[in-house]
Amino acid sequence: MIPALPIAAQQLADETIALPPADLWSDEPPLESDLHRDQIDLLIRLIRWFCRDRQDVYVAGNLTVYYSPNQKKSEYFRGPDLFVVLGTENRPRRSWTVWHENGLYPNLIVELLSDSTAEIDRGEKKEIYQSVWRVPEYFWFDPVTLEFQGFQLVRGEYEAIAPNAQGWLWSDELGLYWGIDNRKLRLFTLAGGLVPLPEEDAMQQAEQERLRAEQERLRAEQERLRAEQERQARLDAVSRLRSLGLTAEQIAEALDLSDVEVQLALEAEQSLSEETLNQ
């Protein structure tokens, strides 16, 4: 049986309704396994980091969503493994109480399947998210078997999201792909790049900085070699013309050099000759 319908806007605006407090504590059972906990933690950190420059995105995991204006602790609540709400204030909460959140429900939900929850996730919760909460996108993922499926709300009913060639599922709500990488549910950009975690992002930036410094070092070394080659070529040309009996002025005119450049070349030639004699 489907729980009560969502709170209507007129209910929220009706000051005569005595609504429960906004600070109800979350009431969720322990997670199934380390795999489930780690996967939820990964997704929360991933989306929060991806949306770090936005203040209108709320991301939570294994947190209770209360959605009845006649709320009781024993009815009308669900705790998605991961949910994202867009267009709301990004701040810590004890739970998500719809009647104190301007009637907002999650834009996206991810449930992690397990032996004890898979039937509910595929059935009762899917029906609630579709018909009661009207969540635009719903995904489920099994960290053990890697079962992965997603749905988009179309004209009030969920339609399966078709995978791309890599098996990824597109999310209009996030503007990203969901996909499996190294047996973990991850996010990918439209161009196919893996959306990084904070520590992965830091490592990428450090590697980019290392490559930039290496490229700068190579560029400076190439510039030094080029300058050395030009100096040696000038020295050889001056030495050759000098051996033909040309004066410094004639050498400068022939090589389009200044008198100072010719003098420096001659001094370098003289220094090199003295070093050769002393050896």
Gap between the Cα atoms of 279 and 275, Å rounded: 6
pLDDT at residue 24 tops 60: no
Convert the pLDDT of each residue in 194-240 to its tens digit: 999 988 877 777 777 777 878 888 887 888 888 888 878 877 887 78
Q: Does residue 165 or residue 32 have the better pLDDT?
A: 165
Residue 67 CB: number of other CB atoms within 10 A? 24
Q: Is the distance from CB of 44 to CB of 82 less than 8 angstroms?
A: yes
- pLDDT band with cut points at 50, 70 and 90 for residue 274: low
User: Does any domain span residue 141?
Assistant: yes
Chain mean pLDDT for the chain: 83
* 4 within domain boundaries: no
Please check whether residues 46 and 163 belong to one and the same domain. yes
Of 146, 180, 195, the last residue of a domain is 195
191 & 214 share domain: no
Backbone CA torsion sign across 221, 222, 227, 231:
positive
Interval 133-140 mean pLDDT: 97
Of 145, 176, 195, the residue at which a domain comes to its end is 195
If pLDDT is split at 50, 70 and 90, which confidence band does 2 have?
Answer: very low
Position 271 scores a pLDDT of: 66
Number of separate domains in the chain = 2
Please tell me what DSSP assigns to residue 263: H
Domain span at 173: 9-195
Q: What CATH number has the domain bearing residue 58?
A: 3.90.1570.20
